Structure 1
Amino acid sequence: MHDHPTEDEYSWPTCVTPRCGRQLWVAEAGRWACRPCEDATLQRIRELPALFAQLDTTAALMRGARRPGGATSGSKTPPIPPRLEVLALVGPGGIAARLQAIEDSWRQVLGWTVAPWRGSPKQAVPHLVEFLGNNLLWACSSYESVGQDIDDLRKLHTECAALASGEKRPGRVQIGACPTVVGDGWCGTQLTASTGSHRVHCGGCGARWETLGEWRELRAAQERVLAEAAGVAA
């Protein structure tokens, strides 16, 4: 007799990264995050210093910000505020603080001393990036919570890249109620879609529509529900 699960009970391990979840390769046995997620995250980490520098310069030269030789100290008209979202990223609670939180959690698990304060965000970011890049392989292999850190780094990189390029955040529009059958009725949760993506996800029942064909099926199902509701009302 043995305690190993039967073939029917066995569940193949998957990547813990929230937006991935794919099955790990045999060569990735024992890892928490897959190699493609590791490679993509390492690339994002390496790009953060340049993005930080670009945003820091943008913040300093923002339209309406004070410049040497600009408005005098006695001016009664305050300068136009710079973009707060840029300042939030390059300031004390922005990029550096978010990277520091990940480094501190890794150091705690490793049993290492928390790194001393490294000065301004501009001074700290290169050191934080170096640490995370050097220890990413360990985290993907041995740190159970690495999936959330990978997702946080992805979000941070996306924010920085969008602001650095001047890209506007895509808006969301309502596209009707969810027609998924739930129990004796239908879900009914209001669905929204982003102008920057073709994916739709219902926050109520979890249903998803991702391809053009699925979008058409969604619309047809919504029309059926409306027709049935109109028939009952009549």
Structure 2
Amino acid sequence: MNDLDTCLRCTRDLRDHELGRYLCSPCEDRTALHLGAIPGLFERLGDHLHRGSGGNGPAVSGSKSAPAPLRIGILDLQTERGPVLGPLETWVRDWEEAGYAEVNEAGAAIDRVTHACRTLRFNLSRAVAQHPAIDECADEVASIWRTLTRITTGETAPRKIAVTCPCQQTLRITLDTRGETCPRCGAEYGHSEVLRLPLAERRAAA
């Protein structure tokens, strides 16, 4: 049970019906949407595996030319221990120990990703109310969703913005940054707080 009156993820004050939960309702809903979308995005990775391939399918080489080279980063995303399936099944195992879920490590990667996402989504409300690390899980799920979305839709990564901590340390954030901790003074900022920090002054080129 959360003894605080704020959401662990976005630091928004919890409403009366949310008290005791670790995440607010909007953060829970957003995580559920991400879990629902990840299997489909993961399945579409194959369309972007070859260099030069677009959203309409893999590039097709002519009969007299060598096949297009594979994009190693995408190939890694599709592996059993890669940054998609690995973290998802790690959370399923964690929730299994707490009695929330059941892991299934059989079948093809897409089947395992689908099972993991369905399991986490089905047990999400219970975890939001009882699991003290649900904010970390939600962060990792959101990161996986963003990575897959950028690859399959061609979106670029969020632009970095330089802001200044009162101790004069420059912090580089994005508009969807959850929060930030200053490496110099240790000050902790939530999402809205870090966005209110003054922009860092641009230094003249030497």
TM-score (norm 2): 0.73
**Counterpart-to-counterpart distance in 2, 1:81 and 1:128:** 31
SS at match of 1:110: coil
The aligned residue for residue 21 of structure 2 is 31
Bigger shift: 198-207 or 137-146?
A: 198-207
Same amino acid, percent of matched pairs:
22
**Counterpart-to-counterpart distance in 2, 1:23 and 1:156:** 26
* Residues 1:157 and 2:145 are matched in the alignment: yes
Q: Deviations over 1:186-225 (max 9, x none)?
A: x343x2546x6498964323376525x943xx65xx99xx
Q: CA RMSD in A?
A: 3.6
Q: Is the 8 A contact 1:198 1:210 kept in 2?
A: no
1:105 to 80, 87, 94: 94
The aligned residue for residue 46 of structure 2 is 56
**Counterpart-to-counterpart distance in 2, 1:34 and 1:103:** 21
* Residues 1:204 and 2:184 are matched in the alignment: yes
**Counterpart-to-counterpart distance in 1, 2:160 and 2:95:** 36
Provide runs of 4+ in structure 1 moved above 6 Å: 64-69
How far has the Cα of 1:14 moved from its partner? 1.5
Change (3 A) 1:16 1:70: farther
**Counterpart-to-counterpart distance in 2, 1:149 and 1:50:** 20
SS at match of 2:13: coil
**Unaligned 5+ runs, structure 2:** none
Q: Deviations over 1:156-176 (max 9, x none)?
A: 11111111112233565877x
Change (3 A) 1:174 1:12: closer
How far has the Cα of 1:93 moved from its partner? 2.1
Change (3 A) 1:154 1:57: same
Larger CA Rg, structure 1 vs 2 = 1
Change (3 A) 1:106 1:57: same
**Unaligned 5+ runs, structure 1:** 1-10, 181-186, 224-234
Q: Is the 8 A contact 1:179 1:188 kept in 2?
A: yes
Q: Which has the higher contact order (CA 8 A, sep 6+)?
A: 2
The aligned residue for residue 140 of structure 1 is 128
